[in-house]
Amino acid sequence: MLTLALVLATLAALLHVMFFVMESVLFTRPAVHSRFGTRAEDVEAARPWAFNQGFYNLFLAVGTIVGVVLATGDDPTTGLALILLGCGSMVAAALVLVIPQPQMARAAAIQGVLPAFAVVLAILELVD
Residue-wise pLDDT tens digits, 57-74: 999 999 999 999 999 998
Whether 61 and 16 have beta carbons less than 8 Å apart is answered as yes
Average pLDDT, the chain: 97
Any domain includes 104: no
Any domain includes 100: no
pLDDT grade for 128, boundaries at 50, 70 and 90: confident
> Residue 123: what pLDDT?
97
> Residue 114: what pLDDT?
98
Angle made by CA atoms 41, 45, 46, in degrees to the nearest 5: 100
Any domain includes 97: no
Range of the domain at 41: 2-87+113-127
Give the C-alpha separation, 97 to 36, whole Å.
Answer: 12
Any domain includes 103: no
Angle made by CA atoms 117, 19, 2, in degrees to the nearest 5: 25
Any domain includes 99: no
Domain count, the chain: 1
Stretch 4-12: mean pLDDT: 98
Give the C-alpha separation, 11 to 100, whole Å.
Answer: 26
- Helical ranges in 41-104 per DSSP H: 43-71, 76-98
Any domain includes 50: yes
Stretch 2-9: mean pLDDT: 97
Any domain includes 108: no
Any domain includes 122: yes
- Nearest CA to 23 out of 62, 48, 54 is that of 54
